[in-house]
Chain A
Amino acid sequence: MSVLSVRNLALSIGGTPILHDVDLSVEAGEILGVVGESGSGKSLTALSIMQLLPRSAKWAGEIEVAGNSIGAMNEKALCKMRGRDVAMIFQEPMTALNPVHTIGHQIAETILIHNECSRAQASERAAALMHRVGLDPKKISPDRYPHELSGGQRQRVAIAMAIALRPKLLIADEPTTALDVTTQAQILDLLRNLVKQDRMGMIFITHDLAVISNLADKIAVMRHGEVVEAGPTDTVFREMRHDYTRALFSASAHVPKREAHINADGEPVLAVDEVVREYARPRKSLFQASRPFRAVDSVTLKIRPGENVGLVGESGCGKSTLARAILALDRLQGGKILLNGRVFSQAGAGPDMRQRAGVQVVFQDPYGSFNPRHTVRRLVAEPLYLIENAPAGAEREAKITRALEEVGLQASDADKYIHEFSGGQRQRIAIARALIIEPSLIVLDEAVSALDVSIRAQILDLLASLSTRLGVSYLFISHDLSVVRSITDRVMVMREGRIVEEGTTEEVFLAPKHAYTKMLIAATPVLKAPAEA
């Protein structure tokens, strides 16, 4: 008997149709991968199964969980079904846990809600569950609070809560998207084993084809609220009958066309010399200051004109701190940073504002990078402030128009507000803002990480063509190795504040020397190229 069968599911929220004709089924012990970009309806399909829909939602069709029709259940029966028959894991392990309760308490609570047992028994079972998800209760006490754990450990706690009642179906909504690659690999292993041991069915929702290709038994590709292609993983990847599947696949493996145009003899656009960044740690005793935390530890690097350099590393390795130091947003505790051969900032002195125009930045979050109250004209023109005798009037308009057209937008977009644009368009505006004063270096801090694969491919193409056309250098900071590989000439691997390996991109990826680099590359899920028919 299948643990889940969804037939002809249709959903509308407030009169807007969201899903239609969604058919899915999951057998015990089977992993169904649901793939799609944002807005494809994959999360709302999961919420329909859980019946956690917003009030204005109306659904039709047939959803059966372990043979019971959900449409026939009242709220009380649904509460019983959630947690006992179907459990869910979310993307963000921090917000999925209650910060004011200990992890042991939270796992035990799930057991207590559905089972009649004493608190002591529940705690005992919670400890056993922690063991199962790879958290040794001897090392990680159940009395800890969520903020005392790492992201991966928190996700393990969330998984322990989800499997506490041995549900028949586990829905995992992007459970590894917020995690580092090595942690992601561990969590995927854990989920795979749990499914096998408990003979659960699992729906794994993701935007990442590489992750799903190595995990799922069968997959369903969703777009615009419908399943466009479904079938066993191998078959789908081999045949790719639907255009969208093919587009998704090629976007995921997209390598932008670019030609290296490095000026090896020129003055380096960026030279980072023995840079140290330290943070004060809270005092442990009144009389003795704590030793500061060294986030960036004597880093030295150079970027030549026109060169695209990647900086990879897992969260907490200091790559963003280094980026902030390069942008002179924070003071240095040691070393100095040169732009185009001139000192931009050094320990013990503030940044030299005259050099500021040499470097600009594009941040990760396309939603938080803009002041929502300014028009695009004002947003894009902001860095013009750096130029002495900033252009005014028609000249200024011309610059704004050129920057917008350079990134594939129109001059008329200047009058709009930022909320009128999609995530990909916003990232284009961020690039336009960085380009307008023609810097020699643009720092791209996870600039494509928040974007859907097809949009990501477009932005990568744009970045590649801008680099070729304008000769601008990039410092491309990312945790995503495949993206870094596709767009950089040279790559640096950072760990615990130090650069542990450096070399041309192909060298590092094909023949990594440092053990940590090898581990990173091994943990990165690889999208298998479809076998040629």
Chain B
Amino acid sequence: MSGHSQQETGFIRAALGHPAFLAGLLLTALFVAAALVSFVWTPFDPEKMQIAAKLKGPSTEHWFGTDHFGRDVFSMLMVGARVSIAVAFVAVGIGIGFGVPLGLYAAANRNSLIDEIVMRGNDLIFAFPSLLLAILITAVFGPGAINAIIAIGIFNIPVFARLSRGAALSLWTREFILAARVAGKGAARISVEHILPNLMNLLIVQGTIQFSLAVLAEAGLAYVGLGAQPPTPSWGRMLAEAQTFISLAPHMALFPGLAIVLTVLGLNLLGDGLRDLHDPRIRRSRG
């Protein structure tokens, strides 16, 4: 239909007029690109130690300097981006994938036994410190990136379940939902067709917040040694190791720190922008 392509060009035009969105997109794209390029090329082998060249500051050869084993920090950051982005992506995916359907299901069956069970189960996870669960999983399955992903992912489920249940509950009382019921649509169909699209901006905003929290959580888990295991580089562990040398080689902490901050910033800007662009009311008024 011609109306559809018109809608898309409208979206692109609106996106170009949204500087925060563009900045977020650029930053995020930068880190995703770094992660992707690291599969085929890095300036140095990130796992190769050169004790002779340890703790060197930034130079034309080692752009971001070297660490205490003489490994190239820039190369390590590039490979570390893979872990950070993968962890955040999969963990938020788990959260949305399980949490949103649970929340919508609970809202569609509000005040029923099912609703109670789902929501009290969420409370249980919420009440449990995330680090403790991560340690538990690590104790059972051993440390590693996959287990960090699972631990962070589980903690994202109640966040999205509660958010979507709360918002869906208020939507269920709206007249357009009544109109859909009069049109004979069942709870599942209404949830997908009417509730979910109206939750989109909430989910996008919460998603980007959780995405950045997951990047931080992975860094935190790696910092205490529960994330990706050496020699796989990880932003969190790079920071942890840099702590010892903070006065000798501040660049070792600076660059991983900057990478985390800029990724989180980029994701947040991207999320805000997406929320605006997704809303037909805002999109039209901007265009």
Interface residues of chain A, those whose CB is within 8 Å of chain B, are 324, 327, 329, 353, 356-357, 359-361, 363-365, 368-375, 382-383, 385-386, 415, 417, 419-420, 430, 433
Contact = CB atoms under 8 A, between A and B. Distances in A.
A353 B179 CA distance: 15
Given A415-B3, A417-B280, A417-B284, A368 B176 contact: yes
A363 B179 contact: yes
A361 B180 CA distance: 10
A368 B174 CA distance: 6
B180 A372 contact: no
Interface in B161-195: 174-176, 178-185, 194
Contact of B176 (A324, A360, A369): A369
B280 A419 contact: yes
B224 to A, nearest CB: 43
Contacts of A374: 197
B198 interface: yes
Contacts of A372: 198, 280-281
Given A368-B174, A415-B3, A361 B280 contact: no
A433 B179 contact: yes
26 contacts: A324-B178, A327-B178, A329-B178, A353-B184, A356-B182, A356-B183, A356-B184, A361-B178, A361-B179, A368-B176, A371-B176, A371-B180, A372-B198, A372-B280, A373-B198, A373-B200, A373-B280, A374-B197, A382-B179, A382-B180, A382-B183, A385-B185, A417-B280, A417-B281, A419-B284, A430-B179
Given A368-B176, A369-B179, 17 more contacts: A356-B182, A356-B184, A357-B184, A359-B182, A363-B179, A368-B175, A370-B176, A371-B198, A373-B197, A373-B200, A374-B197, A382-B179, A382-B183, A382-B185, A383-B183, A415-B6, A417-B280
B8 to A, nearest CB: 13
Given A369-B176, A419-B281, A361 B3 contact: no
A389 to B, nearest CB: 14
Contacts of B194: 371
Interface residues of B, number: 21
Interface string B238-252: 000000000000000
A365 B280 contact: no
Task: Pick the most buried of B6, B175, B182: most chain A CB atoms within 10 A of its CB.
Answer: B182
Interface in B257-287: 279-281, 284
Nearest to B196: A373
A128 B228 CA distance: 74
Interface string B197-214: 110100000000000000
Contacts of A360: 182
Nearest to A436: B183
Residues of B contacting A: mostly: helix
Interface string B1-24: 001001000000000000000000
Contacts of A368: 174-176
B175 A369 contact: yes
B190 to A, nearest CB: 10
A426 B274 CA distance: 28
Contact of A329 (B174, B181, B198, B200): B181
Nearest to B180: A382
A70 B49 CA distance: 79
A156 B117 CA distance: 45
A415 to B, nearest CB: 4
Nearest to B189: A385
A430 B176 CA distance: 10
A329 to B, nearest CB: 6
Contacts of A383: 182-184
A430 B280 CA distance: 20
B284 to A, nearest CB: 7
A347 B119 CA distance: 31
Given A369-B175, A371-B176, A417-B280, A385 B183 contact: yes
A372 B198 CA distance: 8
A329 B197 contact: no
Nearest to B195: A371
Contacts of A324: 178
Contacts of A365: 175
A327 B279 CA distance: 31
Contacts of B182: 327, 329, 356, 359-361, 383
Nearest to A356: B184
Contact of B183 (A363, A386, A420): A386
Contacts of B185: 382, 385
A36 B279 CA distance: 33
Contacts of B183: 356, 382-383, 385-386
A439 to B, nearest CB: 10
B100 to A, nearest CB: 16
B197 A371 contact: yes
A266 B178 CA distance: 30
Contacts of B200: 373
Nearest to A420: B284
A239 B183 CA distance: 50
Nearest to A370: B176
Nearest to A363: B175
Contacts of A417: 280-281, 284
Contacts of A433: 179
Nearest to B1: A415
Q: Most chain-B CB neighbours within 10 Å: which of A359, A363, A371?
A: A371
A417 B3 CA distance: 12
A356 B186 CA distance: 12
Nearest to A357: B184
A417 B283 CA distance: 11
Nearest to A375: B3
Nearest to A353: B184
A415 B3 CA distance: 7
